[in-house]
Amino acid sequence: MLKTGILNPQILSLLARVRDTNQLVIADRGFPFWAGIETVDISLVDGIPSVLQVLQAILPNFDCGSIWMAQEFLDNNRTDTQALFRQAAGSIPLNFELHVKFKQRVPQAIGLIRTGDSIQYANLILVSGPVS
């Protein structure tokens, strides 16, 4: 029985299948359903868990080379919220693009983890591999 780290067996299974340059989506509660993409829905109530909580749980065991977000995240959220995401990313480059372009990346993802987060455009695409 696991006692530390990620305990959710579906998330562990997703992470075990990620290879170099694969993508994993961590999405807020309003992110659309994507047919054909394995989705692990861990939303409980408004804000729980948050995208940042899931990111912080995953990063210690995930070789993440870059993170993508929607440009609209910057346009719709306060600087203190933006700073929390930058801080959580650490040395991993955060890239921003229009939400329409961001969603075009989603079909190539290995899977999607849906959270209870309600921060506008708080969706991430983690790209595996060394930091570029």
Compute the residue count for the chain: 132
pLDDT mean for each 10 residues of the chain (132 residues): 85 93 96 92 96 96 95 97 97 97 96 97 95 70
pTM metric for this prediction: 0.94
Distances (CA, A) of 75 to 71, 96, 104, 120, 131: 7, 11, 20, 10, 26
Q: Which domains does the chain have, with CATH numbers?
A: 19-128 (3.40.1650.10)
Distances (CA, A) of 23 to 3, 44, 67, 74, 122: 27, 24, 9, 22, 16
